[in-house]
Amino acid sequence: MRQISVSQFTTFKWTFEEDLLRYQALGFDSIGIWRRKIDDFGHREAIDMLYDSSLTVSSLNWAGGFTGSDGRSFIDAVDDAIDAISLASKMNAGTLIVHPGARNNHTNSHAFRLLESALQEIGPVAEDFGVRLSIELIPGFVDSPWTFIHSFSQVDQLLDTFDPRQLGLVLDLYYAGLNAPTMNRLERFADRINLVQLSDRMSASETKESRLLPGQGTVDIAAWVTKLDALNYDGPIELEVHGEGVEGIDYFDRLDLASDYLRQLPVQPVQPSPRQTLPTAPLRLPE
């Protein structure tokens, strides 16, 4: 059985409590946590509710900004990432998503050195806490405010530098779904994928993000999911749909339509995988 999750970005205006109660009522298995919502609700209260719920946490979003593109210093961004690692550990999150930040007038090589320096600081901390960090390749969106990582060579270098227990990848099919090189190289990354995020899109030439519900665009989602099954991916599939492409669809309809679509996809048997997994720890309550 696939673990079907929902990112809290999908229901942007609901509160943390509304997300938790409604995702459970609608039959989802897991939740992708947005730090802003848990900050607004209160960490202790949120973790208590998670502990009592039937939902696991597929991801915590996000830490990063190491290039200074969001106005923080490098040290502040690293300290914030360590706080996020601690929070991810307390809720037993499947991964902490890392967005390194835009290039921010640095050269590409200097931006990459800043990212490597940050990961050298926080990677061992994440490993000690049993938290996997995951970074995302965003091909085609070179003006993204989230990352300067747009090339396979950069991803290859990161994977070769950092241990799988410290760093993996997010595969977001909005960005990757119409990018043939990503599909062609999926075997190279398969054992490092910690999270698959899902939404549809209409055109590979889009330069402004416009997410659609799965099945309403041109991404061959069934082919991607079948490919992931064949590569023994057994992690969560997290719905992240927001923005102009779905602004006329209310949240309940978004979740119903997406759930129906995902649960009717054929499931291929997953064979025992050699990928290294971390032991699952019980949910840790804050002290």
Which helix (H) or strand (E) segment holds residue 57: the answer is strand 56-64
Summarised one tens digit per residue, pLDDT across range 225-250 is: 999 999 999 999 999 999 999 999 99
- The answer, yes or no, to whether residue 273 has pLDDT greater than 60, is no
CATH fold, domain 3-263, is TIM Barrel (3.20.20)
Percent of the chain with pLDDT over 90: 71
Summarised one tens digit per residue, pLDDT across range 143-193 is: 778 798 888 888 889 999 999 999 999 999 999 999 888 888 889 889 999
Return d(Cα 174, Cα 189) in angstroms, integer.
17
Q: Left if phi > 0, otherwise alpha if psi is -120 to 50, otherwise beta: which for 215?
A: left
Q: Please, how many CA atoms are within 13 Å of residue 282, restricted to the half-sphere of its CB?
A: 5
Strands (E), 164-253: 167-172, 193-198, 236-239
Per-residue pLDDT band at 271 (split at 50, 70, 90): low
Number of other residues whose CB lies within 10 A of the CB of residue 13: 6
User: Would you mind telling me the total number of residues written for the chain in this entry?
Assistant: 287
What residues does 56 pair with on adjacent strands?
A: 30
Return d(Cα 32, Cα 50) in angstroms, integer.
12
* Residue among 49, 48, 37, 43 at smallest CA distance from 10: 37
The predicted pLDDT at position 270 comes to 55
Q: Please, how many CA atoms are within 13 Å of residue 61, restricted to the half-sphere of its CB?
A: 19
By mean pLDDT, which of 59-73, 138-152, 187-201, 203-217 is the weakest? 138-152
Return d(Cα 205, Cα 75) in angstroms, integer.
37
Return d(Cα 185, Cα 138) in angstroms, integer.
14
Which ranges constitute the DSSP H helices of 196-274?
221-230, 251-263
Are 58 and 196 in contact by the 8 Å Cβ rule? The answer is: no
Gap between the terminal Cα atoms of the chain: 35
What residues does 197 pair with on adjacent strands?
A: 172, 238
Return d(Cα 68, Cα 106) in angstroms, integer.
10
The predicted pLDDT at position 217 comes to 96
Are 84 and 57 in contact by the 8 Å Cβ rule? The answer is: no
